[in-house]
Amino acid sequence: MGANQLLAELEAIGRTRTGGYTRLAWDSATMTLREWFAGQVTALGLELTEDGNGNQIAWWGRGTDALLVGSHLDSVPEGGPLDGPLGVTSALAAVARLKASGWTPSRPLGVVNFTDEEGGRFGVACLGSRLATGAITPEKALALRDDEGTSLGEVMAAQGRDPRAAGPSGWLAEVGQYVELHVEQGRWLAPHETAVGVASAIWPHGRYRFEFCGEGNHAGATAMADRHDPMLAYAATVLAARELATSSGQRATLGRVVVEPGSTNSIPSRILAWLDARADAEPALEALVAGIVARAQWAAEADGTQVKVRAESTTGAVEFDHDLRHRLAALLDAPTLPTGAGHDAGILAAKLPTAMLFVRNPTGISHAPAESASEDDIDAGVDALAAVIKDLG
CATH number, domain at 7?
3.40.630.10
CB atoms within 10 A of CB 296: 24
Q: Do 190 and 302 sit in the same domain of this protein?
A: no
Q: Do 66 and 188 sit in the same domain of this protein?
A: yes
Residue 8 pLDDT more than 90? Answer: yes
Number of folded domains that form the chain: 2
DSSP state of 151: B
Q: Do 144 and 213 sit in the same domain of this protein?
A: no
Domain that holds residue 253: 205-315
Average pLDDT over residues 120-130: 95
pLDDT tens-place string over residues 254-263? 999 999 999 9
Average pLDDT over residues 299-324: 95
In the predicted model, what is the mean pLDDT of the chain?
A: 96
Task: Place 342 in a pLDDT band, splitting at 50, 70 and 90.
Answer: confident
> Strands across the sheet with 205-213, in order?
251-260, 270-278, 205-213, 306-315
**122 neighbors 146 (Cβ within 8 angstroms):** yes
pLDDT tens-place string over residues 40-52? 999 999 999 999 9
Average pLDDT over residues 9-19: 96
Q: Name the pTM for this structure.
A: 0.86
Residue 330 pLDDT more than 90? Answer: yes
pLDDT of residue 93: 98
Residue 341 pLDDT more than 90? Answer: no
Cα angle for residues 366, 94, 375 (degrees, 5° grid):
45
Q: Do 118 and 215 sit in the same domain of this protein?
A: no
Backbone φ and ψ of 110, nearest 5° = -125, 145
pLDDT of residue 164: 96
Cα angle for residues 347, 348, 351 (degrees, 5° grid):
120
Average pLDDT over residues 246-253: 97
Q: Do 99 and 240 sit in the same domain of this protein?
A: no
pLDDT of residue 1: 84
pLDDT tens-place string over residues 171-182? 999 999 999 999
Q: Do 45 and 103 sit in the same domain of this protein?
A: yes
Beta strands in the chain, from DSSP E residues, in sequence order: 47-50, 56-60, 66-72, 109-114, 175-183, 196-202, 205-213, 217-218, 251-260, 266-267, 270-278, 306-315, 318-319, 336-339, 354-359
223: CATH = 3.30.70.360
Q: Do 358 and 280 sit in the same domain of this protein?
A: no
Q: Do 181 and 270 sit in the same domain of this protein?
A: no
Q: Do 91 and 103 sit in the same domain of this protein?
A: yes
DSSP state of 276: E
Q: Do 224 and 240 sit in the same domain of this protein?
A: yes
Task: Place 128 in a pLDDT band, splitting at 50, 70 and 90.
Answer: very high
Q: Do 126 and 238 sit in the same domain of this protein?
A: no
pLDDT tens-place string over residues 137-181? 999 999 999 999 999 999 999 999 999 999 999 999 999 999 999
Average pLDDT over residues 266-272: 98
Residue 340 pLDDT more than 90? Answer: no
Task: Place 313 in a pLDDT band, splitting at 50, 70 and 90.
Answer: confident
Of 279, 299, 315, which marks where a domain is finished? 315
pLDDT of residue 315: 87
What is the rounded end-to-end Cα distance, in angstroms, of the chain? 21
Alpha-carbon Rg of the chain, whole angstroms?
22
pLDDT tens-place string over residues 49-107? 999 999 999 999 999 999 999 999 999 999 999 999 999 999 999 999 999 999 999 99
Q: Do 143 and 41 sit in the same domain of this protein?
A: yes
User: Measured between alpha carbons, how far is 205 from 281 in angstroms, rounded to an integer?
Assistant: 9
Of 260, 287, 315, which marks where a domain is finished? 315
Task: Place 195 in a pLDDT band, splitting at 50, 70 and 90.
Answer: very high
Of 283, 315, 347, which marks where a domain is finished? 315
pLDDT of residue 126: 95
